[in-house]
Amino acid sequence: MAYLDHAATTPVLDEALEAYVATAREVGNASSLHASGRRARRRVEESRERVAAALGARPSEVIFTGGGTESDNLAVKGIFWARRDADPQRTRVVSSAIEHHAVLDGVDWLGRHENAEVGWLPVDEVGRLHPDALRAELAEHGERVALITAMWANNEVGTVQRIAELAAVAVEYAVPFHTDAIQAVGQVPVDFAASGVAALTVTGHKLGGPVGVGALVLARDVAAVPLLHGGGQERDVRSGTLDAAGIVAFAVAVEAAVKGQQEYAARVAALRDDLVRRVRQAVPEVVYNGDPDDRLPGNAHFSFPGCEGDALLLLLDAQGIYCSTGSACSAGVAQPSHVLLAMGADDDRARSSLRFSLGHTSTSDDVDAVIAALPGAVERARRAAQRTPR
């Protein structure tokens, strides 16, 4: 088996799992006043400090959530509502066409249900946003913009944005900038304060923590209307009994991922570069998508002309190679990737794409396995596509 889908989820680190189990064995609600509550609270607050330190934030800026989708929704909707409440003319949201659906669909929902206007920032052919486009958008509509949301690194094609440059433009116009950094933390240097963003999404299971826990790092002066009302936990922004075990494990994973980031990136990028070089050798007509240089260390995203990505996936799966077409809807019907379409790819190129994402458990054996299986799979998938014209 060769697991090359770390961008979907990556194995939990042993130390995170052990921390989870140890904490889960202890009874205690972090909101209780007695000793067991205090013990749970101590674990949560220590974790908050560890996450904050790892991400260049203050502890009070870390809001624990149930994961990336929740954090994105809280940022997009919560900041929109708070800003509009404070100033009714701020009804515009600025985003990019390559966001993950957790952001994209939230923005779209605001458009349909809250009469928000949406300004979509374009990306270039490698999936990069340009500060000039943001500046032009804000120069024209700045007075009415509630927030900007743009991802740090793209989950499909791996392109890493120059977030600090974008955030600096937002600061000029005093508009809060949220970034979905789910794919970035642990892969590239991420420093909340230094980046200048107002809000940042991070989740556990992409960096060796458990699924179902994450955080929104929210600058202290940025208000957000809660999605979940209740006991008033987490600055009143996110109610619900704190998942002490999950939070402890999450903090262990974040700390480890950030601490080991440089070494990790060097090792995994070398494996990835080897994979890319050999894929190009084996399938010369392959298209390497995304920014060739400024990209996530574990990401290799290709289009295989004349093939359908889902046929390739099936064929590789049958040989124990796990990768992704990078886009799936709930019914499992493959749609052409909105990211590639936004980058100017045509429908065929978008449908012919496949993502290999390496991670902390990847080895050169995984790369060898891909190279052994891929040429045959490509040939077969190409034949299948010829037999079944769309």
Partner 1 sequence: MRVLAAMSGGVDSAVAAARAVQAGHDVTGVHLALARNPQTYRTGARGCCTLEDSRDARRAADVLGIPFYVWDMADRFHADVVDDFVAEYAAGRTPNPCLRCNEKIKFAAVLDRAVALGFDAVVTGHHARLGSDGLLRRSVDAAKDQSYVLAVLTREQLDRSVFPLGDSTKAEVRQEAAARGLAVADKPDSHDICFIADGDTRGFLAQRLGETPGDVVDATTGAVVGQHAGAYAYTVGQRRGLHLDRPAPDGRPRYVLSITPKTNTVTVGPAEALEVSTVRATRPVWTGGPRPDQPIECEVQLRAHGVVVPAAVTVDGDQLHADLRRPVRGVAAGQAIVAYRPDPAGDIVLGSATITD
**Identity of the residue, 120 or 322, whose beta carbon is nearer to partner 1 in the bound complex:** 322
Shorter beta-carbon distance to partner 1: residue 174 or 333: 333
Nearer to partner 1, 25 or 387 (CB): 387
**Residues 212, 216, 217, 222, Cα dihedral to 10°:** -160
Active-site residue (options: 35, 329, 331, 333): 329
Instruction: Clarify whether 329 is annotated catalytic.
Output: yes
Q: How far is the CB of 112 from partner 1 (least distance, A)?
A: 16
In whole angstroms, give the CA distance from residue 158 to residue 28: 40
Give CA separation, 230 vs 32, 67, 233, in Å.
15, 18, 8
How far is residue 152 from each of residues 163, 200, 250, 293, measured CA to CA in Å? 6, 9, 20, 15
Q: CB 21: neighbour CB atoms within 10 A? A: 11
User: Quick check: 227 and 214 in contact, CB under 8 A?
Assistant: no
Q: For the CB of residue 113, give the shortest distance to partner 1 in the complex, in Å.
A: 18
Give min distance, CB of 375 to partner 1, in A. 14
Strands 353-357 and 321-322: unpaired
Q: Which is nearer to partner 1, 46 or 105 (CB)?
A: 105
Least distance from C-beta 306 to partner 1, angstroms?
12
Q: Please give the DSSP secondary-structure letter assigned to residue 128.
A: -
Residues of this chain that interact with partner 1 (CB under 8 A) are: 310-311, 313-315, 317-318, 330-334, 380-381, 383-384, 386-388, 390
Listed in sequence order, the residues at least 6 apart from 355 whose beta carbon sits closer than 8 Å to its beta carbon are 5, 7, 156, 157, 299, 300, 301, 302, 323, 324, 325, 326
CB-nearer residue toward partner 1: 197 or 369: 369
**Min separation Cβ 11 and partner 1, Å:** 21
Strand partners, 3: 322
Which residues are marked as active site? 329
